Structure 1
Amino acid sequence: MKKIHIVLFIFLVSVISFAQAPEGFNYQAVARDASGDIIANTIVGVEFQLHKTTISGSVIYTETHSPTTNTYGVFNLIVGQGASTDTFNTIDWATDLYFIETSIDVSNGSTYVSIGTTQLLSVPYALNAKTADNVFSGNYNDLTNLPNIPTNSTYSVGDFAHGGVVFWVDSSGQHGLVCAITDQSSQISSYGNRDFDAPYQEFVTGDGIYGGKMATSFITSYYHTGTHPAKICQESIILSFRDWYLPSKEELNLMYLNKSTINTTCLANGGTAFNEATYWSSSNYTGGSSNLWLQWFTDGNQYAFGSGVDYPNSYVRAIRAF
C-alpha cells in the first residue's frame, strides 16, 4: 500500500448538536502521499478510534468514513457520525482524558494505517452539557452568588491580565495576546536533531498574529515525544490557563518591541525579565527548509536555525490569546 500522510488542517473546529441526531465535531484534513503530493478527487477510507486515559489506552469508540478528497486533497467529515457499532453520545467527556487515533486506507478498504494519535483538549468537552450533574438553565439570572463581572473591559500593552502580560491588542482593545511572566525553559536545544519532513515544512511556515497557535499544534502532533519548545508551551499550566503556545516569528517580535514595558510588569508581579539572549519561535523558514526562526532579545535580530540541530542557548516564553 502506498504510504499516506494526513496533514491536520483544521481540527475540532466546532461541536454540533441536533435534536434527533448524535452529536459530533467537525474534522478537516489534507491527504498527501509519501512524496508530499496531494491525493485529489479520491475516495479514501478513514477510521477514528478514541482511546481512554492514555495515548495507548483502551479503545472505547470506533467509527469509519469514506470521504472524497477535493481538487486540493481536502476532505471533511464529522467525528461522531460515521459508521460504528459503538454509541458516541453516551461518552462522558468530563470523567477522563481522551485521545483520537486517525487511520487511513487510500483504497477505501478496511486495511487502515495509523497516521497518528493526539489528545482531545477542549472542543468535545462542550458535549458534557448533556450529561453534567449540575445542569445550567442557560439563564444567567438563575445563578446564585453572581460575580461582579466588568463589561466591555479594554486592555493596553503592559497590563497584567488573562494569565500574563498583554503585549498586543486588537482594534477593539478587548482581545489580544499575553505572554507568561517567566520563561518556561532556559537554554533549550530545539528538537533533538530531528528535521521536519517535507510534508510538514509548509504547515509550520505560518506567521502573523495567532499564527503560532496552529504551528504549535502541527509541531507537537509530529513530535509528541521528548522535550522541545512547542511541547513545553503546549503543556504549560500557568495561573490556571492551559492554552499556551509557542509564538510565531511576528508574535515573538511584538514581545521584543514591547520588551521594556513587559519586563516592568513581569517584575512587579513576581515574574522575571527577558534574558538578553535568543528565544525560539514556532515559524519555519519560508524557503521550505527545516530551519526555525529565533530572535535575539538584545538587538531584535531574527534568523533561522536548523530544527534538527541542537542550539543550546535559546529560551522559551509561552503566549496565549484572550
Structure 2
Amino acid sequence: MKQEQSIITLGLLFFSIAIMLYGNAFAADKTPHRVTQPEFDAAISTINSKISDIKPSVRTIGEVLPDNSIVFWVDETGQHGLAAQPFDEDGQFNWYVAKEMADSRGPGWRLPSKHELNLLYLQKEIVGSFDDNSYWSSNEYDATNMWYQSFFDGSKGGFDRSSYSLSVRAVRAF
C-alpha cells in the first residue's frame, strides 16, 4: 500500500512539473502551433541522441535475475542466454513427473536439453546447490530411455523414463 501511494505521489509530481514547464494543457488558448523545420530537426536530433545513449543489459554467468534464476550461459551479445532455477526440486522423480514439475514453474520453464544440461554441469560451481546426482534432460536417448547427466563425474547416457528416479533442475531462456 505504501509503495502504491509513493507511485501515485511520484506521478502527480511529474504531472505538476510538466504543467509548470510546458503550460497548462487545459488553458483557454487552443491555438495550434506550427512546428518549423529547425524545431523539428532539433527534436529528432535530441531523440536520436537519447536513443543512442540506451545500452542494452548485458548478462553475465552467475548473475541472479529478478526471478532468482541464475545465468549459466550467455550468447556473444550478452543479451540472451540460459538461466537455471537456483535449487533442485525436492526429491528424485521419474522423467514424466520431472518434466511436469519443470513445466509447471511457469511460462518458459522446462527440462534442459542434453546440450544445455552439459553447459549447466560445466557451470555447476557457479550456479551452485547441486547434489552429486544424475539429472534428467528433455532429449530421448532411444524409444524408452531419456538422456541424463551425472553431476558427480559428468558421465552421460540413457535411463528408462518410467522406472528411474533422477534429480530435476528446470531452465529457461532469456
Which digits, 9 at most, give the CA deviation of each residue in 1:23-42, with x for residues without a partner? Answer: xxxxxxxxxxxxxxxxxxxx
Shift in Å, 1:231: 1.1
CA contact (8 A) 1:245 1:320 kept: yes
- Are 2:130 and 1:274 aligned? yes
1:112-127 matched pairs, under 5 angstroms? none
> What is the TM-score of this pair, normalised by structure 2?
0.65
Q: 1:171 aligns with which of 63, 66, 76?
A: 76
State the alpha-carbon separation in 1 of the partners of residues 55 and 65 from structure 2.
15
> What is the TM-score of this pair, normalised by structure 1?
0.36
| Identical-pair percentage | 39
Q: Counting helix residues as a fraction of each chain, which structure ranks higher?
A: 2
Which digits, 9 at most, give the CA deviation of each residue in 1:165-217, with x for residues without a partner? Answer: 100001111110000011124211223xxxxxxxxxxxxxxxxxxxxxxxxxx
Structure whose CA Rg is larger = 2
Q: How many residues align structurally?
A: 122
State the alpha-carbon separation in 2 of the partners of residues 230 and 162 from structure 1.
24
Q: 2:127 aligns with which of 255, 262, 269?
A: 262
**Could you say which residue in structure 1 is the equivalent of 2:49?**
none
- Are 2:62 and 1:158 aligned? yes
Q: 1:315 aligns with which of 147, 154, 167?
A: 167
Shift in Å, 1:310: 1.4
CA contact (8 A) 1:185 1:317 kept: no
Shift in Å, 1:290: 2.1
State the alpha-carbon separation in 2 of the partners of residues 243 and 162 from structure 1.
15
> Structure 2 regions of 5+ residues with no counterpart?
1-13, 16-53
Higher relative contact order at CA 8 Å, sep ≥6: structure 1 or structure 2?
Answer: 2
Shift in Å, 1:298: 0.5
Shift in Å, 1:295: 0.8
**Could you say which residue in structure 2 is the equivalent of 1:283?**
139
**Could you say which residue in structure 1 is the equivalent of 2:117?**
252
> Structure 1 regions of 5+ residues with no counterpart?
1-143, 192-227, 264-272
Aligned to 1:247, what secondary structure does the other structure show? coil
Q: Counting strand residues as a fraction of each chain, which structure ranks higher?
A: 1
**Could you say which residue in structure 1 is the equivalent of 2:147?**
293
The one-letter code sitting in structure 2 at the alignment partner of 1:302 is: K
